Structure 1
């Protein structure tokens, strides 16, 4: 498997290492049938997709028994890498594009990820409540936050209150001002040294 993941997550057990190692051949195979990762990114899968997804884990460790919704998961990011890292947390991955969710469910089955459920549909149609909602830059924060209304559990069990952990890049001042939400920014350069992460961030928005 990619040494890149072990570099930043050295405490993985053998089962987790095995699952991370399987990601590249699985995604390359599926990508040849259904384009879920851009052609240029598939060769940088561990850097641009897997490690990027795991940036969320540097901000918060999900506790056993908690649940996480990944909105607009595409081919399964950030949900699938996080599900490998946190096997006792339940992940629901939703996307409006059916062929992408087919890949998500096939990859989860191949990896034996019993803590992943892929749903073809819109976020608003998911009738469950979660500790956290994660996503990777599917839209601006203001409309995204609307999609999450009523989807958070009342009780918070983590060190951070229940909310959104959103992977974004670039200058977000205008977007976050527009959202009128209280938020905190975590620069991924705090955790990862690769150039790819220079403008990448995790935005934490506490449920409001």
Structure 2
């Protein structure tokens, strides 16, 4: 089977319906991912069936229609090779997407993908998350912030919640240790104005590992002191009093 057939098959198992335009967009994205990965480190996963499942379908598992409302403004923090933000945009054209990353060469790759797929309304932002969240044009300007495979949850909460408007959501796609990460992040979630509203376990077709999507609602504004300066959230996560 080729990539498009793998993707169509895995999407059906996940109860997702992809039309021809979406399939073509995902296929071109895959081709460019493999091509660019030969000259820069974008992903360790390059086989067609694995990219289809572990990158494309996995990214779409967070797409709760009660969170991603029609026309929602979405920022993907630390987007890397574009996951989960770009698959969400290919699947849902109405989303107003911003892709934020600290490396310009990754944004150059994403600009190429967007041009080749025919998407012209995605904003690319070159920033560390800590700096971007202090930019008045970005801070508390989004209905949804998403992040996948960037850092442990106590760190991610500090990096992502400041981008979210009160009433919006931070959506984290996490791996098998998500329960432990939730325990670690309780203090940070509360301190930064959030509330864990829903935990949605995810099992991708044919894989034994359990994943989960965490939906953290922003219930009040984040204090102006957060996020702390670049590098500090990772070095000294907000784990409790005195952290």
Change (3 A) 1:10 1:172: closer
Give the one of 89, 93, 104 matched to 2:110: 104
Whether 1:57 and 2:57 are equivalent positions in the alignment is no
Give the one of 125, 130, 135 matched to 2:147: 135
Partner of 2:177: 171
CA distance in 1 between partners of 2:64 and 2:143 (Å)? 17
Question: Equivalent residue of 1:170, what SS?
Answer: coil
Q: Which runs of no fewer than 5 residues in structure 2 stay unpaired?
A: 190-194, 220-243
Q: Quick check: which has more Rg, 1 or 2?
A: 2
- Paired residues, number: 197
Question: Equivalent residue of 1:134, what SS?
Answer: strand
Shift of 1:37: 1.1
Partner of 1:4: 9
CA distance in 1 between partners of 2:200 and 2:60 (Å)? 13
Question: Equivalent residue of 1:56, what SS?
Answer: coil
CA distance in 1 between partners of 2:121 and 2:210 (Å)? 31
CA distance in 2 between partners of 1:76 and 1:60 (Å)? 23
Pairs within 5 Å for 1:31-42: 31-38=37-44, 41-42=45-46
Change (3 A) 1:56 1:76: same
Q: Which runs of no fewer than 5 residues in structure 1 stay unpaired?
A: 157-161
Change (3 A) 1:29 1:131: same
Partner of 1:159: none
CA distance in 2 between partners of 1:73 and 1:146 (Å)? 16
TM-score by length of 1: 0.85
Does structure 1 conserve the Cα–Cα contact (< 8 Å) formed by 2:170 and 2:218?
yes
TM-score by length of 2: 0.73
Does structure 1 conserve the Cα–Cα contact (< 8 Å) formed by 2:77 and 2:146?
yes
Shift of 1:91: 0.9
Give the one of 126, 147, 151 matched to 2:159: 147
Change (3 A) 1:31 1:60: farther
CA distance in 2 between partners of 1:202 and 1:88 (Å)? 22
